[in-house]
Amino acid sequence: MEIGAGCRLLEGKIAIVTGASRGIGAAIARRFAVEGAAVALVARTIAPGGQLAGSLEEVAGVIRATGGTCCMIQANLADPADRSRIVAECIATLGGLDILVNNAAWSRFVPIWEVSPRHVELAMQMNLYAPLDLSQAALPHMEARGAGWILNISSATADLPPPAPWDLNDRKVQFNLHGHPTLYGTSKAALDRMTAGWAIELAGRNIAVNALAPVGAVASEGALSVGGWDERDHIEPVETMVEAAFQLCHRPAHELSGRIARSLPLLEELGVRYRGLDGQEIARADVT
């Protein structure tokens, strides 16, 4: 039986997805809705016409057109006061909370010696403090429902660059040398460590906490706007990240928690064939 045709593994679940106006967040929200979840879509961009393509209204329209349930919460995740109301609004509108996907992020790829205090503040507010605050607010509601899933979307930039002596022709060295991912990677490395800590401290309480990153880059609106990609880079379809997120947000915590996972290796480990945003199977040969 195809997923979405009576075998919906998130039926009755309620999810929050931040950064849901475009890219990975929008894709996760759409797939979760197909799988039966009611989804609270969170982002700053409520209506079309912003600097980047995508808005909450557009994502909500797609979800509702395919029979899904969602609500929109406009919020600036960099503002502690703004994000403090997100969980409460979800509970008031949808009636509970089972799944939290902390996807919204802030990035600027500039040389580390040019990073300003404002850059550091925004990176940490969006990429570390917001997931912490939302997870703290979500936890009692998940416990009240007997189970929960927290997924933090991370990045391969959290991995340490190689030490000297360097092969300056190596692609990874080239990226760290010219791509300037240090600030972004630092915030995501902190997120990974926090994820592992949350998971072990919640052991035995039926709450799964994981981090997930693509192997390379996902061709989202945000990634494409940064630029710098070429044929040497691994650009994976958004569906592989979405499938991995789905797996980490329905399997029990005693099986999958505390993972700092990469999308494609996780799917290989689980023996899962990834599906489209409509829940229909896609051939693995389509992964590039």
pTM of the predicted structure, to 2 decimals: 0.91
For the chain, the domains span 14-281
Residues 156 and 215 sit within 8 Å (Cβ to Cβ): yes
- The Cβ-side half-sphere exposure at 169, using a 13 Å CA radius, reads 0
**How far is it, in rounded angstroms, from Cα 181 to Cα 278?**
33
**Residue 209 corresponds to which amino acid?**
V
Of 231, 232, 234, nearest to 217 (Cα)?
234
Question: Over the range 127-150, which residues count as b (16 or more CB within 10 Å of their CB) and which as e?
Answer: bbbbbebbbebbbebbeeeebbbb
Domain 14-281: which CATH class? alpha beta
11-24 per-position pLDDT tens digit: 999 999 999 999 99
In this prediction, residue 286 carries a pLDDT of: 47
In this prediction, residue 234 carries a pLDDT of: 54
In this prediction, residue 288 carries a pLDDT of: 42
Q: Which residues are designated catalytic?
A: 184
| C-alpha dihedral sign at 247, 249, 251, 254 | positive
Going from the first residue of the chain to its last (288 residues), give the mean pLDDT of each consecutive group of 10, the final group possibly shorter: 61 98 97 98 92 93 97 97 97 98 96 97 98 98 98 97 95 93 98 98 98 82 49 73 98 98 97 92 58
Of 43, 76, 184, 178, nearest to 127 (Cα)?
184
Instruction: Please classify residue 114 by burial: count the beta carbons closer than 10 Å to its beta carbon, then call 0-12 exposed, 13-18 middle and 19+ buried.
Output: exposed
